[in-house]
Structure 1
């Protein structure tokens, strides 16, 4: 059983606050329920009376109002996955694509590994506007992961993050 957890994007939070994108009322009801903690099944169960299905979640995803935050094979066990071997990165990786990859990495992993204690760090990620600003968050992020999940999880995530940052950690 695949259990997915969704969270609002900045665009989704903007829609909730201002109704800027004029989302249909039924979809808006679903968007309000999405909080980064409820599973896909729980969300759909809560809006079943409105006639909403998985297609409604897909519509919010396509509209950029929500993002897949976490996806587990089971909710009982959520281990930190070993990083898959990556092909060598192209030499000319654009700053924009690197920024997007780092931004998504931080957003996906802060909530699932650090939890509520990562809120301040999450705000710093949201405010970051360059790869360098995201690079500066590396050590605070890894320190927080180590405190929350231990050395193994921190090492695994550090390896993934270093690949995104195109850094090689120093060997001790």
Structure 2
């Protein structure tokens, strides 16, 4: 099991949002703390559809490093050609500086790009809520989990959104709440604008 920590570039990304890292990857980056093992990190973000390949993506982008790496602060050279990935880190070393600015104006993602393979919108939201309530809020999220279990429609899940975000904010802080809100809104509204 490897323990990862943020690099200077990773810490800078969290404070300045300079590379426009995708919201799901930002959550993973936020949780990298130099103390938590990779297995535990991946368990915490499983509900977001994140896995080892996303941890590798942050590593390749130079945003994280294995804790105690001797050459950790040495910048990673840009690859000759950007790899074709389903969810690349915008603004990676190989990307042009203007790429980060164009992310916001990009066309909305299709439901196929947002939903985990083989899951309906309802199932994806259900798993997202359950996994993140357990890993982010813990026992204090028991009441929320009961509400998730009683939900019978996407609209029920939308009505749970505010209480969930407030609980995450209280438990984990603004940055993680903002990051999870981005992924949750993708699932709840599938490309539509949220009704805030």
Q: Normalization by structure 2: what TM-score?
A: 0.42
Q: Normalization by structure 1: what TM-score?
A: 0.48
Relative contact order, higher structure (CA 8 A, sep 6+): 2
